[in-house]
Structure 1
Amino acid sequence: MVRRRRWAPQGGIALNGPDHPLPDLSVLLAAIEASSEAILITSAELDHPGPYIEYANPAFTRMTGYEPGEVLQRTPRMLQGPRTERGVLDRMRATLVRGETYQGEALNYRKDGTTYMVEWLIAPVRDAGGRITRWISAQRDITERRASEDRQDLLVRELHHRVRNTLATVQAVLNASLRSSVSMAEFSRSFGGRLDSLAKTHAMITEDRTQVVSFEDLLRAELHDMPGHARIALQGPPALLPSELAVPVGMALHELTANALRHGALGHADGRLEVRWSLEGEGADRTLRWTWNEHDGPPIPLPTREGFGIGLLKQLLSYQAHGTVDVAFDPDGLRVTVAMPLSDVA
């Protein structure tokens, strides 16, 4: 979590005393008027309809949009609204009833109806006999700070989630590489290629501030070094994948590309590859549907059982990307059709 810088609460403010004479009031007023913090002075009563605002400095006007004449003799409750957290207000009241200084944060409303996060420091003003006569509230707008903290917290949660998914993906490709390799040299080649693909996907994720990757960019990253670019056709609208989808999809595209190069259309002089995709639905029902279709490659015998490549493909796309996968061994070449929900993409 992000550590927030806080004001240090102090005790109540005494009006005057023999040991603490006040400076000239005009000096105090000039300091308050020049302060970048919003300052409110209110009456002492806490029960509705009080307390009443007796003074508001220029910084308060800049923060809320209210001129002093619009708030004098009104209650600070005018700044609260339906989204102001009741629990915060209850804790504030309980602290002030005890005559203590209160520090906290809440959602307030400006004159134009927009919201802002405010940090309060509310201290009692006491007379020489210790009786509370007023409250002084120093306030600052922390909307941008809170938004920055929330973004950082979200990034930490996303990173934690992505690391877990990445470890699951590495485990899956490691097991697939071990099962399919007949020698250490073959294992090193296949596992190394899969790790390189994973690294490329993560590089694309971290380059984007919103942590999303274009589906087309994933395709081009895998197919960039393939021979016969004229035999590769890519067609579809812009489609963004969040990190939790980009990792398994990137690995699946790597498996399809490697298979097409070793056994399919990309390894044959006359072979062609078409990848087409579309976006369907709206909002939570939004789906990316894509088809990997190989043509004019070497004949593909119908497998008698599900091989390690198809099993890995389904594990990546079905279990990690929550998609549906249909694999067809057409006479013309391999055809894989995938539909994946995109409900997590803004």
Structure 2
Amino acid sequence: MTGLDDRNSALVNGAGVNTAKPLTTPAQDLVLFRTIAEAVSDGVIVTSADLDSPGPRIEYVNPAFTRITGYELDEVLGQTPRILQGPRTDRSTMDRLRAALEQGGTFFGTAVNYRKDGTEYINEWLVNPVRNAEGRLLHWVSAQRDVSTRERAAASQQILLGELNHRVMNNLAAVQSLATRLGRTTSSIQEFRAALQERLSALAQAQKAIVAAHWQSVPLHSLAQAQLAPFGFGDAGRVEASGPSIHLRAGAAVVLGLALHELGLNALKHGALSAPHGRVGLNWLVVPGPVGDKLCVSWNETGGAAITPPTHRGFGLRLIEEVLVRELQGEARISFDPDGVHCLLGAPLSSILDRRS
């Protein structure tokens, strides 16, 4: 190995490799070291012991080092490991490394490193001192590993757990709000129980659509299908839906899901779906606006019994109007025409779209 002299007999023992019997010649030590270093998947660097500026010089790297970093042996000989550092390399980690080496000890750490082509990777490395029989420091040996995939997975898991916690808390808040509002508008515990069960079912269907989308964006058509299936979605044209592909963020899916459920429930009890030949058409489109595009969702009932406007704003109507405005900066217009209920829901795309889709 270029740069390594007969002191290399210390490398194997100094790097912590136990042998059944001492290797008595430097040549045997060197052959064993090269065999091990060139077989492992981790990068191996051997440097000089000198810590004075510019620091330890690289004397050997194994093939795995080349695979990880893109540097060939002849490109790094005589260089310092600092060639792997860059703008996002953590200086405090490097300071800990320096302090450990000044004490002649080992070091284990993780930091952002840079390949020959300038791309980043997350490096996990262990540095060990190599000493001769008299205890004099001869080299540093470092085993290095690219742990970028592992670290990204860990970071993604933390983000997912945080998002899950946020959404669970939001769902609990929604349940609390529903229970409070229903308590004000129902006249008996039986009525309260039935009404709450219906709304919790709607929340569950919205959550089911979110989970089916792997906690990512929720297709509006899938949400409509999940919420309106109990009211005849897809059954002989009773409830039909059409519109462009729109992917909602989870919070918007919950709000729109509740609104669709309330409209479906009202149609089943009092509107078009209470009659044998009643129909519901659900359509949506994106409309350009002066301050940004807007999603418009229209609900149109036909074929039902003649209806009259309600004398008071019930729970469902208030939920649609108030929650849509508060949560999505949207608006709702509902008309009770003789031929059926017509509802137009609108919200800025910026408040409902999943930005990752």
User: What TM bracket, shorter-length normalisation?
Assistant: 0.7 to 0.9
Cα offset for 1:37? 1.3
Residue 262 in structure 1 maps to residue 269 in structure 2: yes
- Deviations for 1:150-186, whole angstroms, at most 9, x for unmatched residues? 2211221111011101101111222333333334443
Confirm or deny: 8 A CA contact 2:241 2:283 kept in the other structure: yes
Q: Matches of 1:267 and 1:103 in 2, distance apart? A: 71
Residue 211 in structure 1 maps to residue 221 in structure 2: no
Partner of 2:78 in structure 1?
A: 73
* Unpaired stretches in structure 1, ≥5 consecutive residues: 1-11
Partner of 1:162 in structure 2?
A: 167
Partner of 1:345 in structure 2?
A: 355
Cα offset for 1:131? 4.3
Alpha-carbon spacing, 1:207–1:344, altered in 2? closer, same or farther (3 Å): closer
Task: Give SS of 1:224's match.
Answer: helix
Confirm or deny: 8 A CA contact 1:239 1:279 kept in the other structure: no
Partner of 2:284 in structure 1?
A: 277
Q: Which one is further off, 234-243 or 328-337?
A: 328-337
Cα offset for 1:63? 1.5
Alpha-carbon spacing, 1:48–1:323, altered in 2? closer, same or farther (3 Å): farther
Structure 2 counterpart of 1:95, one-letter code: A
Cα offset for 1:193? 1.9
Structure 1 counterpart of 2:98, one-letter code: R
Partner of 1:292 in structure 2?
A: 299
Q: TM-score, normalised by structure 2?
A: 0.79
Confirm or deny: 8 A CA contact 1:270 1:296 kept in the other structure: yes
Q: Which one is further off, 270-279 or 27-36?
A: 270-279
Confirm or deny: 8 A CA contact 1:289 1:339 kept in the other structure: yes
Partner of 1:31 in structure 2?
A: 36
Partner of 2:139 in structure 1?
A: 134
Structure 2 counterpart of 1:243, one-letter code: A
Q: Matches of 1:14 and 1:345 in 2, distance apart? A: 50
Residue 241 in structure 1 maps to residue 248 in structure 2: yes
Partner of 1:336 in structure 2?
A: 344
Q: Which one is further off, 223-232 or 68-77?
A: 223-232
- Deviations for 1:299-331, whole angstroms, at most 9, x for unmatched residues? 555556543222222444333x33312223253
Out of 94, 117, 123, the position equivalent to 2:122 is 117
Out of 301, 310, 318, the position equivalent to 2:317 is 310
Q: Matches of 2:134 and 2:352 in 1, distance apart? A: 66
Alpha-carbon spacing, 1:307–1:200, altered in 2? closer, same or farther (3 Å): closer
Structure 1 counterpart of 2:254, one-letter code: V
Cα offset for 1:91? 3.1
Alpha-carbon spacing, 1:157–1:78, altered in 2? closer, same or farther (3 Å): same
Confirm or deny: 8 A CA contact 2:205 2:227 kept in the other structure: no
Alpha-carbon spacing, 1:239–1:14, altered in 2? closer, same or farther (3 Å): closer
Q: Matches of 2:35 and 2:61 in 1, distance apart? A: 13
Q: Please give the root-mean-square deviation of Cα atoms over the aligned residues, in Å.
A: 3.1
Cα offset for 1:134? 2.2
Q: How does 1:25-104 map to 2 (within 5 A)?
A: 25=29, 26-104=31-109
Residue 188 in structure 1 maps to residue 197 in structure 2: no
Structure 2 counterpart of 1:252, one-letter code: A
Confirm or deny: 8 A CA contact 1:240 1:345 kept in the other structure: no
Alpha-carbon spacing, 1:47–1:295, altered in 2? closer, same or farther (3 Å): farther
Sequence identity percentage: 42
Cα offset for 1:82? 2.8
Alpha-carbon spacing, 1:46–1:300, altered in 2? closer, same or farther (3 Å): farther
Partner of 2:257 in structure 1?
A: 250
Alpha-carbon spacing, 1:275–1:84, altered in 2? closer, same or farther (3 Å): farther
Q: How does 1:3-18 map to 2 (within 5 A)?
A: 13=14
Q: Matches of 1:265 and 1:245 in 2, distance apart? A: 26
Partner of 1:232 in structure 2?
A: 239
Structure 2 counterpart of 1:192, one-letter code: Q
Confirm or deny: 8 A CA contact 1:287 1:342 kept in the other structure: no
Q: Matches of 1:92 and 1:342 in 2, distance apart? A: 48
Cα offset for 1:27? 1.6
Q: Matches of 1:34 and 1:121 in 2, distance apart? A: 18
- Deviations for 1:244-263, whole angstroms, at most 9, x for unmatched residues? 33223322221221122222
Q: Which one is further off, 59-68 or 208-217?
A: 208-217
Confirm or deny: 8 A CA contact 1:105 1:120 kept in the other structure: yes
Q: Matches of 1:93 and 1:179 in 2, distance apart? A: 67
Partner of 1:5 in structure 2?
A: none
* Unpaired stretches in structure 2, ≥5 consecutive residues: 1-12
Partner of 1:171 in structure 2?
A: 176
Structure 2 counterpart of 1:253, one-letter code: L
